[in-house]
Structure formats: structure tokens, C-alpha cells
Structure 1
Amino acid sequence: MKYVVYYRVSTKDQNLGLDAQRSMVEKSLKAEDEVLRSFTEKETGTNKKFRPILQEALNLCKETGAILLIAKLDRLARNVSVISTLMESGIQFQAVDMPAATNLTIHIFAAIAEHEADIISQRTKSALKEIKSNIKENGHHISKSGNKVTSLGSPSNLTDEARRKAVEAIKNKKRLNPRNRQAKALIRSLHKEGKKLSEIARELNDNGFTASRGGKFRAEQVKRLIEA
């Protein structure tokens, strides 16, 4: 197979996760596969417009008939509009973390990712709004640890607030585990289509999902999640 590989990192000054993406892609390739070119873009995943480097990758796919290969679906985009536009373009693409994903499952995961990004954005805006309001009314804001914040201009003033947000984010991540939410969304969707419990379990396993204890999904576990 011929592939054009696309990598994305979130910010212009950070390459966090790039090595992991490359490793995932390299491990997924077979000896007979051919990578025509790799593209790397530094851009937020919530951007609702096609990014220039991504567009270059897509143009090469059109010219050569190659498949667009990405490590993880959320590296391509975290909004439904970009995913939908890509699908309608007729270009084939494949995500290493979900090799058996269908158009339906890809739309579901994109919608979940977009929703989660919106929640994070709103939470951040609300926290900053509260701090600004307290500073304006009282001349300062008292963090959870009791430190006084008088300005948002210096990163050091936000150290304690940043720690508090980090702890909250970790708790929320454990509580809302995106992969668990994606699995439940996929189960509900496939169940509505009339799929059998064993078929749903196989779809979950093929897409790299694991049960709560790390093993493969079975029909009885799918049933419990449907009834939960």
C-alpha cells in the first residue's frame, strides 16, 4: 500500500507526542508498504478550517492515489466539520489506533472529541473570568491554597491556580475517561443498528478498546454497558 503520513502537534513551541505518533505509524507499516512522504503540522486540533500542511498532504494523496495515514484520529481533527469534509473528498484515510473504524465510528469519535474540547475551553474561560472578577472587585483573588493573586500578567501569579486546575483535570480525566466514553457511544450506536452483542464486542476489540480490567470485550460485558 502507498501512504502519505500526517502528524500533528498542538502548539507551535511544543513537539510533545510527535515521537509517539511516529512510533505508532512505523510499527503499523508492513515491509511491502511505501511511505511517499510525511507531513508534520503544528496547529490546534479544534481549528475548523483545513490546515495548510494537511491540505498539502491531501493534495499528494489525490495525485498519487495514496492513503492518508495518521497515528490517532484526534491528531487529524477534533471537530466534525473537518472529518466530514475529508470523507466527502473521497480520499481514503486510516488511523493506526482504530484500524477497523468505519465512517460511522469515525463520526462518533470526532463528535465526542469536539464536545470534550468545548468543555475544556468553557471550563478554562469560566475559571479566568472568576479570577478577573475577583481581582476587579477586591483587588485580588485567593487561590484554593490560600495564596493571593493580584494580576494575570505574570505566570508566577497563576502557579497555585494552575496546580489546582491540573489536579481537577486529572480527576475529571479519570472520571470521564475519553476511551470509556467513546466505547459507550460506539456500543449504543451499534446496538441501535441491531448488531448482536457478540458483533459489538468484536467491533470494540478490533478498534483497540479494552474492558475495565484490561482484557477483551465479551458479549456479557457489552450487555452490562448497554443496561447501565
Structure 2
Amino acid sequence: MKQFVTYRRVSTAGQGRSGLGLEAQDRDIRLYLDNYADVPHEVLAEFLEVQSGADGDRPELSKALDLCRRTGAELLVAKLDRLSRRVSFIAALMDDPKVKLRVASMPNADKFQLHIYAALAEQERDFISMRTKAALGAAKARGVKLGGNRDVLLQRAEAVRRDAQDFARKVAPIVQPLRTSGATLTTIAEALDGAGIATARGGKWTATQVKRVLDRL
């Protein structure tokens, strides 16, 4: 019987108390277990961490990994960034012969694909950070006062990003299985339109919009 150890992580205590982020992780893990895991299967234990993904010392993750090494169970996470945001950490974990990793949102991905994804995600985060700093520097050079307005703009940008992420998660149960099965972006767009599902702005789907959703997932 296939055995799993699940690991979920939220960055703040507030998220843990409110359930923010946990609900989506629970949903993705359940989708994987119901649709992709071997039958029968068993969840040996569930671990929850309230800590930043940048921190290397996470006691709950250590417990989960220790249990996996002792039992041969697979470590199941909803998304790769719930495990860590550092590609070096993920690479080291994948090199551990006693740890088998499974990512619910990428159910058929092998170790090589997960490693590539982690590296690309880290590069994207670094680029976004540099781009933000460059934009702020250019604004300051033009005489734009940074401070209160900057905080408001950042809050608005974060709200937009969060809304887009939430919408992507809503359509994930349709988009991800189709993409995993080899469907093109255009085919997925047509399937969403055919199912009567509008875009976040209430319009028709295009291949570009589908790609954006997949990127956010």
C-alpha cells in the first residue's frame, strides 16, 4: 500500500489561525490523493509549519522527513514553494535516496522537472525583486516622493496579485489535468469557454490567459 506523509506550510501565525492558505493546500493535496494516488493508499501523518519558506530550520518539516526516511512513505506537498523557496534546499532533498517527493499541483512531475521548476521560480523571484528596485530607483530619480504613496501602491499591487492567484486556484482543477494530459493552451481555453467559465474579468479565454493561470499555479 502506498503511504504518504503530508506537509503544509504558512508564513505567518495569522494565516495559520485564519486558515488563509491552508484551505488551498488541503484542497490540492486531497485532489492528488483522490485522483492520482495509488489505490489503496494511506496517509501516515500530517505536519503543519508556521514559518517562512526562507528559513532552513523548520522542526515540523524535519519530523516529516524523518518519518519518510523511516517508513519509506512519500512526502506530499501542495506546491513546491510550500517545501522551500530555495532551489539549493530542494536540490539537496532530491539527492536524498531515502526521501521520495510528490507535489500535488504537478502530479506527474519527476525529480528532474521539479528541480528545473524550482530553479526557474527562484530566478523569477530574483528578477522581480531587481525590477521593483529599479522601478523605485527610476521614480526617485524623477523626483517622485516615495513613502506613503509607495505603500498604497504596493498594497494595491499585492491585492491584485492575490486576487489573480485566488482565481487561478479556482480554475486549477480544470486547467491542470488538461495540461498534464497534453492539451494545448488553445484547447484548454476552448474547454473553459465551453464549460461557461469566464476569465477573471468576465471575458473569453485565450491561450495567453491560460498560460498566465498556469504560471501562477
- The correspondence for 1:206, drawn from 171, 180, 183, is 180
Report deviation, 1:78. 1.8
CA distance in 1, matches of 2:69, 2:4: 11
One-letter amino acid matched to 2:96:
S
Match of 2:152 in 1: 163
Match of 1:98 in 2: 106
- Report percent identity of matched pairs: 38
CA-based RMSD: 3.8
Match of 2:5 in 1: 4
Report deviation, 1:40. 0.9
Deviations 1:14-73 (A, max 9, x none): 2321111011112322462211111111222233x2522111100000111100011112
2:65 match: secondary structure: helix
The alignment covers a number of residue pairs equal to: 170
Match of 1:146 in 2: none
1:39 match: secondary structure: strand
Match of 1:36 in 2: 44
One-letter amino acid matched to 1:71:
A
Match of 1:25 in 2: 29
CA distance in 2, matches of 1:95, 1:20: 14
Report deviation, 1:88. 1.0
List, as ranges, runs of 4+ consecutive aligned residues in structure 1 with deviation greater than 3 Å.
119-131, 166-173, 207-210
Asked whether the equivalents of residues 68 and 93 of structure 1 are also in contact (C-alpha less than 8 Å), the reply is: yes
1:51-90 matches, within 5 Å, as: 51-90=58-97
One-letter amino acid matched to 1:211:
L
Asked whether the equivalents of residues 100 and 207 of structure 1 are also in contact (C-alpha less than 8 Å), the reply is: no
- The correspondence for 1:142, drawn from 140, 145, 148, is 145
- The correspondence for 1:111, drawn from 119, 140, 154, is 119
2:92 match: secondary structure: helix
CA distance in 2, matches of 1:80, 1:43: 17
One-letter amino acid matched to 2:105:
D
CA distance in 2, matches of 1:8, 1:209: 31
TM-score (ref. length: structure 1): 0.60
Unpaired runs of 5+ residues, structure 2, are 163-167, 169-177, 192-206, 208-217
Which of structures 1 and 2 has the bigger CA Rg? 1
Unpaired runs of 5+ residues, structure 1, are 144-148, 150-157, 174-178, 180-203, 222-228
Report deviation, 1:207. 7.4
TM-score (ref. length: structure 2): 0.62
